[in-house]
Structure 1
Amino acid sequence: MKADVLILGGGGAGCSAALHLAQRGARVILLERGLVGSQASGVNHGGVRQQGRHPAEIPLALRSRQMWSRMRDICGTDSEFEACGHLKLARNEAEEAELLRWNAKAAEYGLRPRMIGGNAIRTEVPAFSDRVVAGSLLEEDGAANPRLLAPALARVAREAGATILERHAVTGMARQGDDFALEANGETFIAPILLNTAGYWGGRVAATFGEPVPIESLNPNMLVTEPLPAICPHNLGVVGGDVYLRQISRGNVIFGGGRGESDASIPVSRPLPAPAFNAMARAIEILPVLRDAMVIRSWTGIDGGMPDALPVMGPSRTTPGLIHAFGFSGQGFMLGPAVGAVLAELVLDGRSDTSLDGLGIERFAGHAAPAEDPWKTRLE
């Protein structure tokens, strides 16, 4: 089966790319080993935040936040997006200084977070403990339901003409002349362009084409409580990121911290008790009202983590036609819509006005290649 563009991976970025490419007339085939949105894009906390981003990610975050405001027009649902504000908390003077440093950098990009001192922050949210000494509120940030985004993007991409094939695990990959050839479910898929949006497995794709990176499996340990009375209207984070939480409209508090475990070769993942208890303790430290809350479910998934916690995004340095967008290190849900739009521009226009400076794969040049071929078979 031939196409103009092959996309490997059906998370938010891959499905957004399929949609934007198909809307501009490109013939697109997306291959997903499971179901769209079943890994990192669908199992995260749901934060839609610009606050706290590394400067290299801020251009993507700015563009994606604009798209979140139009998400219902883009894919038929707002994915329960709410601009409830992202409030990042400091628990000591050093963390407060870190908030001030980021706020100064954010102003260079037109962002205007509001710094809130210790007394004022407990006036706004009386449930905070004395452990909270300050906070930075970016009111235009918010949260959404990660279960809804990728399936909605995939549905509209199909309507626009994209072929999206779930339960198609790629078992062979190679160059055939100027084309890429991917084997899945006994069929060969061919195109001159390959978008690598395969999350953790994106590292395997890069290694296959001579660009190994030090990617690790990252498994966010997530939990949710029973419905509770209203506690805080904002999506909450802390400097250092050891706990993050938000209360949804039904009253449940979704929170996370630490890491679960996984076997990415199957793939399967599971949360772990010790990180869960640690996350509970961290949450109670800042919101003592959660002490008696009942946790009703926990989960995790598989994402790709990079040493600098930044994604690999941009053209391959070894293989013409290969474009990477993987390794979002637990921070890619909010960025996914803009990542897909940028990928479509790189394919069809050869450029994008959204800066990718600092995200290229060349920053890992010289990393050792894996000892074995990462694919079970290799097409010749």
Structure 2
Amino acid sequence: MGLFVEPLPSENRLPSKVDVVVVGGGIVGASAALFLAKRGVKVALCEKGNIAGEQSSRNWGWVRQGQRDPREFPLMIESLRLWERMNEDLESESGFRRAGILFASDSDENIAQNEAWLYEARQHQIDARMVSGSELQRLTPGADKRWKAGLFCATDGRAEPHLATTAIALAARRSGASVLTNCAVRGLELSAGSVSAVITEHGRICCSTVVVAAGAWSRRFLKDLDITLPQLKVLGSVMRTSPVEGGPEAALWSTEFALRKRIDGGYTIANGHASVVSIVPDSFRFFANFWPALRSDFKNLRLRVDDRFIKECSESHHTPPDRISPYERTRVLDPAPDKASLRRTFERLKKAFPVFASATVVQQWAGLIDVTPDAIPVISQVDAVPGLIVATGFSGHGFGIAPGAGRLAADLVRGTPPVVDPTDFRFSRFTDGTRVRPLTGV
């Protein structure tokens, strides 16, 4: 299972009425609830299991501008500003440290891709540069491997997924939000086509606005409202090590492994080129939507048929709100990690970094990542249902950008000027003729 996250006890009483209900207790939902509560909005955060039980505690812990899709630059810049003062604002440890992130390159082709990204980044005053030679060696202490060059973003950082989301949810509670765990939202109630309430497993909460920040569950939740969100799940496997002396402070991405130092002195290790995609009914339904992304990234994905096909078939049927929902039957998505891939990744890491030779594997886990066809999120009103806002589909890039995403969602709820232009994140891009596909980034 994923990293242990200290359980956050639920409120004892279900509020009968609030202004906003946030569905999903991951880092995006918790951030939205915090910004709303701080602005005096009466908000309830409903989580079917535990706060940060799924991908929000299972990700790499990177807080990066580097190699991010240019459409996300403004929102990521705002998020980094929020991360920088987060420990102080939350009065708690999020694990955030500004240590930089390095994307190492072995090939001239990859160097050219990094330089092209760097040109775009400089238009947004992002502090990044190409490094090589002695500077590259200085950023990779303990390594025997010598890369040709690297893209280094010194202002990027790292944080602890198992700490940050809970700290944000606690701050939201202190600001007045009701934080309800083990409280699945079974569906919405509409009046004259607009949101009027949510139906939870414990009862009804009247509200005029709902923010769906349900991660990998968002597609399933919206389907019951006859709203089609093209979203699939990608399995990412991760491991952590015992403390290592003399390893890099900066996080590192390479074609063979990725690493990030943890505040306990160990490292989080993964391989971004070894993701698994289970074939499920939605794989056929959304094949045309995802084909451009699949074609460009096919070598980094492993397609497989497994028990998720039957599982998602059984969960796909509409469940009346007076019946137990799929969200209660599966409180936490806890898939098995790809241990063979992690073993190969760790061996490659030790070969490149002998300093890891004595490190032991403390834990391995996996998470299901909510992916959109263009690999950028949906943070948007849904025109078909007034009062419904969606914040999902972060495509494996959500942890770092979550504070800004939560603030943007809160702006959309209140109708105030948005912190960044939300046009690229609009829900309607999937139906308005927009050419929906990834641009760049990892």
| TM-score, normalised by the number of residues in structure 2 | 0.77
CA apart distance, 1:48: 0.9
Q: 2:197 aligns with which of 181, 184, 197?
A: 181
Amino acid at match of 2:213: T
Structure 2: state its 5+ residue gaps: 1-15, 279-307, 313-325, 434-442
Segment drifting more, 284-293 vs 18-27 = 284-293
Q: Which residue of 1 aligns with 2:420?
A: 354
Q: Which residue of 2 aligns with 1:372?
A: none
Amino acid at match of 1:95: N
Deviations 1:268-325 (A, max 9, x none): 3221222212422453464354355321210122331223221111111321111111
Q: 2:360 aligns with which of 280, 289, 294?
A: 294
Q: Which residue of 2 aligns with 1:255?
A: 269
SS at match of 1:319: coil
SS at match of 1:269: coil
Q: How many Å separate the matches in 2 of 1:164 and 1:124? A: 42
SS at match of 1:335: helix
- CA pair 234-5 structure 1, distance change in 2 beyond 3 A: same
Aligned 8 A contact 1:84 1:233 in 2 = yes
Q: How many Å separate the matches in 2 of 1:124 and 1:7? A: 41
Segment drifting more, 67-76 vs 207-216 = 207-216
SS at match of 2:340: helix
SS at match of 2:131: strand
- CA pair 278-357 structure 1, distance change in 2 beyond 3 A: farther
Q: How many Å separate the matches in 2 of 1:205 and 1:250? A: 37
CA apart distance, 1:172: 2.9
Amino acid at match of 2:425: L
Amino acid at match of 2:34: L
Mapping 1:27-176, distance limit 5 Å: 27-118=42-133, 120-130=135-145, 132-176=147-191
SS at match of 1:210: coil
CA apart distance, 1:72: 2.1
Q: Do structure 1's residue 207 and structure 2's residue 223 form an aligned pair?
A: yes
Q: Which residue of 2 aligns with 1:378?
A: none
- CA pair 96-193 structure 1, distance change in 2 beyond 3 A: same
Q: Which residue of 1 aligns with 2:338?
A: 272
Segment drifting more, 268-277 vs 336-345 = 268-277
SS at match of 1:302: strand
Q: How many Å separate the matches in 2 of 1:3 and 1:103? A: 45
Aligned 8 A contact 2:379 2:408 in 1 = no
CA apart distance, 1:45: 1.0
SS at match of 1:328: coil
Q: Which residue of 1 aligns with 2:402?
A: 336
- CA pair 326-282 structure 1, distance change in 2 beyond 3 A: farther
Deviations 1:89-117 (A, max 9, x none): 11211111111111110001111212112
Aligned 8 A contact 1:103 1:112 in 2 = no
Q: How many Å separate the matches in 2 of 1:347 and 1:171? A: 21
Give me the CA root mean square deviation. Answer: 2.3
Structure 1: state its 5+ residue gaps: 368-380
| TM-score, normalised by the number of residues in structure 1 | 0.89
Higher-helix-fraction structure: 2
- CA pair 291-357 structure 1, distance change in 2 beyond 3 A: farther
Q: How many Å separate the matches in 1 of 2:202 and 2:263? A: 46
Segment drifting more, 86-95 vs 299-308 = 299-308
Segment drifting more, 48-57 vs 199-208 = 199-208
